[in-house]
Amino acid sequence: MSSDMNFKNTDPIIEVEHLKEYFTISTGFFQTKPLKAVDDISFSIREGETLGLVGESGCGKTTAGRAILHLYKPTGGVVKYRGKEIRTKQDIENFRKKATMVFQDPYSSLDPRMTVADIIGEPLDVQHLYKTKAERRDRILELMDHVGLNSEHAARYAHEFSGGQRQRVGIARALAVNPDFIVCDEPVSALDVSIQAQVINMFDELQSKMNLTYLFIAHDLLVVRHISDRIAVMYLGRMVELADAGEIYDRPLHPYTKALMSAVPVPDPKVARANKRVQLSGEIPSPLNAPSGCPFHTRCPYAKDICRQSMPEFKEVETGRFVACHLVDEVN
């Protein structure tokens, strides 16, 4: 976590404005309906910062990350990189040289027919980032060293490695183009807990060494707290709260964030017993049939008529703190 840096003075490296990602779903005989996976979200990430993006499975976190990188073509909204809007094919190509992704599953995201050297070297081949074979090999070995892999691993195949080592290969591949922005899509959720800490510490070290900026997507709130400078909370395709990591944990304002934080395990039994667990009623609705008004009103213990009728604005309620809730003053 790079909280020693002062982000107040740095310009945003990524700006997301009213991003939407809708998928057309067939609902029967020549009938379709939009599935609003990401529905009008806005935020920015400053250089050298880690923004954690959290929420339940299916809330649109991964889709948001992929839409920002234009792996999916956004349905609406704007993504800017260093102040410049990414619009044309050329813009996307240029952006891809500076922005990469670490995928969730180290088992399925690596080609089993390629050696580790070829997996890591593939981005170098695609972007023509070397002049000679020797330069390519040196760069691959340098990248392997960055992520704690030995040079003798280069000729092996992905299936010969443990989950943690495979994820290191994936991270080395993401670093190959010398990016300054990386979307980390649940990069430790498929790993053993003992390995998770090692990989997260490695993300931290790489960030300070290479001045990387992360969008860190996860559902494990302890992991996110450890690595993030600020945290954004998503629910059903929309953003409900955004604030500094410490603020979100110590004083959540949105009813959904309160429920999430009350579920975080506390190592001290006395504190754990004193904590009031917020129980949410009902199931998370389908994004195909999202409720009217505030998407959270069907499970919110404070919901009133206004919550059912109109969508709350995602607005700044304190300096640097954004919440989408009609009743934010009443419930806090």
Q: What is the pLDDT of residues 35-49, one digit of tens each?
A: 999 999 999 999 999
Percent of the chain with pLDDT over 70: 96
Strand order in the sheet with 84-85: 31-46, 12-28, 76-81, 84-85
pLDDT band at 27 (very low <50, low <70, confident <90, very high): confident
The whole-angstrom separation of Cα 321 and Cα 242 is: 6
The whole-angstrom separation of Cα 165 and Cα 242 is: 33
Query: What is the model's pLDDT at position 65?
Result: 96
What is the rounded average pLDDT of the residues 269-280?
73
DSSP 54-76: E-STTSSHHHHHHHHTTSS--SE
What is the rounded average pLDDT of the residues 205-222?
93
Helix, strand, coil distribution of the chain in percent, nearest 5: 35, 25, 40
Instruction: Give the global pTM.
Output: 0.92
Which token pair is 121? 């070297």
Domains and CATH numbers, the chain: 7-98+179-323 (3.40.50.300), 111-178 (no CATH)
Which token pair is 75? 């349905």
What is the rounded average pLDDT of the residues 21-45?
92
Kindly report, residue by residue over 229-263, the tens digit of the pLDDT: 999 999 999 999 999 999 999 999 999 999 988 88
What is the rounded average pLDDT of the residues 129-157?
94
For the chain, counts of helices (H) and of strands (E): 11, 12
Answer positive or negative: Cα dihedral of 201, 47, 5, 222. Answer: negative
Query: What is the model's pLDDT at position 247?
Result: 93
The whole-angstrom separation of Cα 124 and Cα 109 is: 18
Q: What is the DSSP letter of 211?
A: T
Which token pair is 22? 């809708």
pLDDT band at 3 (very low <50, low <70, confident <90, very high): very low
pLDDT band at 4 (very low <50, low <70, confident <90, very high): very low
What is the rounded average pLDDT of the residues 279-307?
88
Query: What is the model's pLDDT at position 6?
Result: 56
